[in-house]
Amino acid sequence: MSIIDATPALPILDLAQLNASPTDRAAFLSQLRQAAREIGFFYLINHGVSADLQHAVQDEARSFFALPDGAKQKVAMINSPHFRGYNRAASELTRGKPDWREQFDLGAERPAVEHAEGQSAWKRLQGPNLWPEALPELKPTLLQFQREMTAVALRLLQAFAEALALPADSFDALYGSKPNEHIKLIRYPGQHATHGDQGVGAHKDSGFLSFLLQDRQKGLQVEVTPGSWVDALPLPGSFVVNIGELLELATNGYLRATVHRVVSPPPDEERLSIAFFLGAQLDAVVPVYALPPELAREAPGPQSDPLNPLLRDVGWNYLKGRLRSHPDVAERYYPDVLRNSAELIA
């Protein structure tokens, strides 16, 4: 069975076509627009991130999750006002229910912004990562992966602008010099169906673009139509890419941020995923871009979740999501925000 025969549910896009002939480039842009418009998910191949780096990141992730619990707790997220670090399974919530996955979160490695009275609360999100002393290679490996994934994401974002007949630099002001880069190392332990199967609950991603490096264990599912789920089966060497709510907002719903979830593996299995998210600068405000009339007519407006309404202020929207997902961190570092914004966070 060929790779394509084994993964018919999502389209496969070849990024190398962008630098090929004009005909190939035009074909890629057309496929990109169609995939993002109709499904919101696709596989990306020939993206330029080497197999060696992919394997190194996966190896470091496995080494991290194999550490004793005490070592992982030294870099627990509860120690970070920037929402960086480790969480045990069932620590993060999606739609109010616990996700059965353990994970390690990191963002752009930048100094913390000194807190000042009257300052926007989302500025506290910027800061350093937590790194386990036992794994000295984890930091350089993940930061290299972050740099290379950011380059791929920005290249793809410029391709999206071109596919929408916008200037290639249309989104530049939104991600700017400090894009919101976020990596999750994720391990899904197996569990019995009688205990539930929520590896991560159904949700949309909030940023521009999301990229997922999968191992051999399936689990990611995409809701292609309401109530109809398909498996995004592992495709070696590829990233599964999906559209975030920022792009849906910016294109007035022309591009589709699609609901997806992860189903837990069976009891005797586990699943390893490496997720990379590119978002806008935290001080950005998302505009609605003026699409050509033939595309604008097909833009139905963004489909905001009434239980988690979208906000055009990027920093506040991102902070809101973090506060909802990690209530323990929120209570320790953001009690003022919880008091003043309960209607948006509850």
pLDDT confidence of residue 2: 33
Question: Residue 278's beta-bridge partner residues?
Answer: 181, 209
Q: How far is CA 91 from CA 6, 13, 23, 138, in A?
A: 34, 35, 49, 23
317 in Cβ contact with 341 (< 8 Å): no
pLDDT confidence of residue 6: 46
Q: Please, what sign has the CA dihedral across residues 327, 329, 332, 333?
A: negative
Question: Is residue 161 classed exposed, middle or buried when 0-12, 13-18 and 19+ CB atoms within 10 A define those classes?
Answer: middle
Point out the residues of the chain with pLDDT beneath 50: 1-7
**pTM value?**
0.92
126 in Cβ contact with 110 (< 8 Å): yes
207 in Cβ contact with 277 (< 8 Å): yes
pLDDT confidence of residue 3: 39
3-class SS at 264?
coil
Whole-angstrom Cα distance, residue 202 to residue 332? 27
pLDDT confidence of residue 153: 96
Dihedral-angle region of residue 11 (phi above 0 means left; psi in -120 to 50 means alpha; beta otherwise): beta
pLDDT confidence of residue 304: 63
* Residue that is written with structure tokens 């190398």 in the block: 16
| 12-14/41-45 β-pairing | parallel
What beta strand segments (E) does the chain contain? 12-14, 41-45, 85-87, 93-94, 97-98, 102-107, 180-189, 198-203, 209-214, 220-225, 228-231, 239-243, 260-263, 270-279
CB atoms within 10 A of CB 159: 20
pLDDT confidence of residue 190: 86
Beta-carbon contacts of residue 155 (< 8 Å; ≥ 6 apart): 15, 18
Q: Count the residues in the chain.
A: 346
- What single-letter DSSP state applies at residue 266? P
Tokens coding 217: 């264990």
Question: Residue 63's beta-bridge partner residues?
Answer: none
* Residue that is written with structure tokens 């994401």 in the block: 153
Closest CA to 182 of 221, 225, 153: 153
